Structure 1
Amino acid sequence: MMTVITEVTIEPGQETQWDRAFQERIDDVRNQPGWIEVQLLIPVDAPNQRVVVGTWRSRVDWEAWHETEVFKKTKEIMDAVEQQKGEDRWFEVVTRQSAEGASSKQDL
């Protein structure tokens, strides 16, 4: 299991447009093989920044999602209002625990 973290800065005043496109993307990702979960974070001191934390079974699954029509369409919208996009940072998930009881531990 892999987690990818992406940080973006949105042009001030364009946050709603970016958020709508992101929501469309997330509505579609539920149907993608290998998708596990996503979080969209907004720093409390930077309302035009977003941090996306996505967890996938594999990086190959994530890359396949990037080839879908919905992803490509929303990428155009989101890219148009982004001021700065950070690089994707990948992490191997070693332990996962949630209040819902979902947990897993990967062998090191």
Structure 2
Amino acid sequence: MMTVITEVTLERGSEPEWDAAMRERLAAARGRPGWVGGQLLIPLDGQNKRVVVGTWQSRADWQAWHEEGAFAETRTRMEGLQEGESAISWHEVVVEARGEPPA
């Protein structure tokens, strides 16, 4: 498995719109081949910053998702709300542990 971490800075005031688009993107990723899961994080020291953590079976699965129409549509909306370029880093998953989902 591979985890991709993307860090972005948003234009102030655009946070709710960007977050809504990311929720749509994560919902659309469900059921995609290779999708394992994802998280949208807000750093405590930057309310206009976001960290997206996505886990895929392979980098090729992630790349195929980026070529889908649903991804492209949210990309256009979201990039217009960001300041500068996003930073992406890849990590191989060595161990994954999760608790039971809440009842």
TM over 0.5, shorter chain: yes
Return the alpha-carbon distance in structure 2 between the equivalents of residues 64 and 100 of structure 1.
30
Return the alpha-carbon distance in structure 1 between the equivalents of residues 83 and 47 of structure 2.
13
Identity %: 50
Return the alpha-carbon distance in structure 2 between the equivalents of residues 5 and 27 of structure 1.
18
Return the alpha-carbon distance in structure 2 between the equivalents of residues 94 and 67 of structure 1.
27
Aligned match of 1:10:
10
Deviating more after overlay: 84-93 vs 48-57: 84-93
Aligned match of 1:26:
26
Shift, 1:17, TM fit: 1.1
Any idea what the Cα deviations from partners look like across 1:11-63, whole Å, max 9, x if unmatched?
Answer: 00000111111111111000210000101100112110000010000000000
After TM superposition, the score normalised by the length of structure 2 is 0.93
Return the alpha-carbon distance in structure 2 between the equivalents of residues 68 and 31 of structure 1.
13
Q: Following superposition of structure 1 onto structure 2, how do residues 23-102 of structure 1 map, counting pairs within 5 Å?
A: 23-100=23-100
Any idea what the Cα deviations from partners look like across 1:52-100, whole Å, max 9, x if unmatched?
Answer: 0100000000000001111000000000010033321001000111112
Query: Match for 2:77: what amino acid?
Result: I
Q: What secondary structure is seen at the aligned counterpart in 2 of 1:17?
A: helix
Q: CA RMSD in A?
A: 1.2
Return the alpha-carbon distance in structure 1 between the equivalents of residues 8 and 84 of structure 2.
6
